[in-house]
Amino acid sequence: MEKISKVKDLEGFNQITIETNEGKFDISYCGNQDLYMGLYSKNHNRGEKKEFNITKEDFYIFDAFDKFFNNVKNHANEEKQMSFDDIKPFKNNEIIWYSDDNEQNNASKLSIKQSDDKNSYKLTFYNGTMNGSDIVTYFVRICNSGSRYKGYNYYFMKLYQDLLAYNYDLHQIHFEEYLFKKQPQRSLVRR
């Protein structure tokens, strides 16, 4: 089950925590005016990954990621037709974002992939190091100025704002959630 919570950090900026069956990850806007997505982990082995699934179990969260994914995909397709030389984060039906705070081969990485049935998204965080240090982190920095992915940061900020607007306490079940929860279960007993 997905759950979302929001708190203000010490500087007064909102931090969003999304909890899934696999654990928790954070999306936070910081004082340097950049967005960060990732998770805190005691595990510091370089090259490891953490995966999270966003399903229709909470349709508002799923819908925010669905709009985000399609916006990035459409932007990439429009740029393809205009043949810009900028690095595009969307390839092979997957968003891949290398953290803007380090060189691509050392940076932490976020992969967002839509399932074949389009009922879920898999977010995979690959750890990397921060620029100029040996600190291993799962956090991916999305720069609002000077990113290697020019123009795509807007969609991450829109996702953040959409999730920030969500009030989990006032949540009412959405028809899509009901259908998702009522998917037929396989039974070993014939009826």
d(CA 142, CA 7): 20
The pLDDT profile of the chain, 191 residues, written as one tens digit per residue, is 678 899 998 888 999 999 999 999 999 998 788 999 999 877 667 778 999 999 988 888 999 999 999 999 998 888 765 555 567 799 889 999 999 988 888 899 999 999 999 999 999 999 988 777 777 889 999 998 888 888 899 999 999 999 999 876 665 655 566 666 666 555 445 55
Q: What is the pTM of this model?
A: 0.83
* Nearest C-alpha neighbor of 55 from the set 123, 119, 124, 146: 119
- Which amino acid, one-letter code, is at 45? N
User: Domain locations in the chain?
Assistant: 3-181
* Nearest C-alpha neighbor of 89 from the set 102, 104, 81: 104
d(CA 61, CA 17): 12
Contacts of 134 (CB under 8 A, 6+ apart): none
- What sign for the dihedral angle of Cα 163, 164, 169, 172? negative
